[in-house]
Amino acid sequence: MIYVDPKILARVNQWLTPFFDKKTQNDIKEMIAFDPEGLEDSFYKNLEFGTGGMRGIMGLGDNRINKYTLGKNTQGLSNYLKEQFPNKEIKV
């Protein structure tokens, strides 16, 4: 059995909740069983937003580009713009 950091397991467990679709949950369960190294790489950190936007590997997890990380970052950008320009109409 391969050791996986408890902090990573906590991130993985968040993705196994009903907020995430069943296919995503099943694919993560498969990674747990058959690809623990890939699981660790996919969840050990949040995907970084750099000067060129988001770049990275597409796949499951916090350290990958997927519909969940894109949604999270889009919401973060929207919140930031609303905060910086409170009296302006924001279009994203």
Secondary structure element (H or E) that encloses residue 49, with its range: strand 49-50
In-domain check, residue 24: yes
In-domain check, residue 27: yes
Per-residue model confidence (pLDDT) at position 1: 60
Distance CA 75, CA 33 (A): 32
Closest by Cα among 7, 87, 71 to 39: 7
Per-residue model confidence (pLDDT) at position 92: 67
In-domain check, residue 77: yes
In-domain check, residue 16: yes
Residues in the chain predicted with pLDDT less than 50, given as ranges, are: none
**pTM summary value:** 0.84
Domain hosting 24: range is: 6-84
What are φ and ψ of residue 50, in 5° steps?
A: -105, -170
Number of separate domains in the chain: 1
In-domain check, residue 90: no
